[in-house]
Amino acid sequence: MTTRRNRLPLLLSAVAFVLVALSDSAQAQQPSSQQPAPSIRIATHMVLVDVVVTDNQGKAVAGLDVKDFVVEENGKIQKISSLVTPAENSPRPPTELPPGVYSNQSQYRSTGPITVMLLDVLNTSYTDQAYARGQMLRFVKEHYKPGERMGVFTLTGPLKELQDFSGDPKILYAALQSYKPPSR
């Protein structure tokens, strides 16, 4: 039978054993000189800010540079990485895109009118479809303006292209003439 006095040395031995085991474990977790140093990764985002600077008469001010601007966020001055100004008084002709590719970016904008003709087969009665197609053919033949770009589409559930945007009325007319409505 052990008394409280006899248990004290056993308890102290157990505590000492645990402390030694913990100190060995802590030393094993310390980084060695062979491990790479920790690294910090930072992601940044460029924010585009469009600015139009005009004088008292409303005319654009030319010749501005990065040093002419200050951008702040929450009271902290931000670095301006680049400044791009449009070429003065030199409108560029629109760049041609490949067929079936469309963009709303300014360098691809057409200078002339663009017309979209849509024959709604989905929501239009069969007899009204024939009338609408006839009116579309007449419009292309009689009212088409040179330089105008026109595309012809049908709505039969999904939107379908009969003719991509073209400046040639003969191509547009042929596309409308060859259209066969889906059978019901």
pLDDT of 2 strictly over 50:
no
Q: In this structure, what token pair is assigned to residue 84?
A: 């791009």
Q: Tell whether 135 is covered by a domain.
A: yes
In the chain, how many domains are there? 1
- Ranges of beta strands (E only) in 94-181 are 114-120, 149-155, 159-166
Q: Tell whether 80 is covered by a domain.
A: no
Q: Tell whether 171 is covered by a domain.
A: yes
Q: Tell whether 62 is covered by a domain.
A: no
**Binning pLDDT at 50, 70 and 90, where does residue 95 land?**
low
> CA-CA distance, 87 to 89, in Å (whole number)?
6
CATH of the domain at 159: 3.40.50.410
Angle at 87 between CA 83 and CA 91, to 5 degrees: 140
How much is the pLDDT for 47?
Answer: 76
Radius of gyration of the chain (CA): 38
Q: Tell whether 158 is covered by a domain.
A: yes
Q: Tell whether 69 is covered by a domain.
A: no
pLDDT of 90 strictly over 80:
no
> CA-CA distance, 126 to 183, in Å (whole number)?
10
pTM: 0.43
- Residue length, the chain? 184
> CA-CA distance, 133 to 62, in Å (whole number)?
51
Q: Tell whether 172 is covered by a domain.
A: yes
Q: Tell whether 43 is covered by a domain.
A: no
Q: In this structure, what token pair is assigned to residue 5?
A: 């006095």
pLDDT of 94 strictly over 60:
no
155, 123 contact by CB (below 8 A): yes
Tens digits of residue pLDDT in 8-27: 555 555 555 555 555 555 45
Task: Write out the residue range of the structural domain in which residue 140 sits.
Answer: 106-178
What is the mean predicted confidence (pLDDT) over 69-94? 74
Q: What is the mean pLDDT of the chain?
A: 75
pLDDT of 130 strictly over 50:
yes
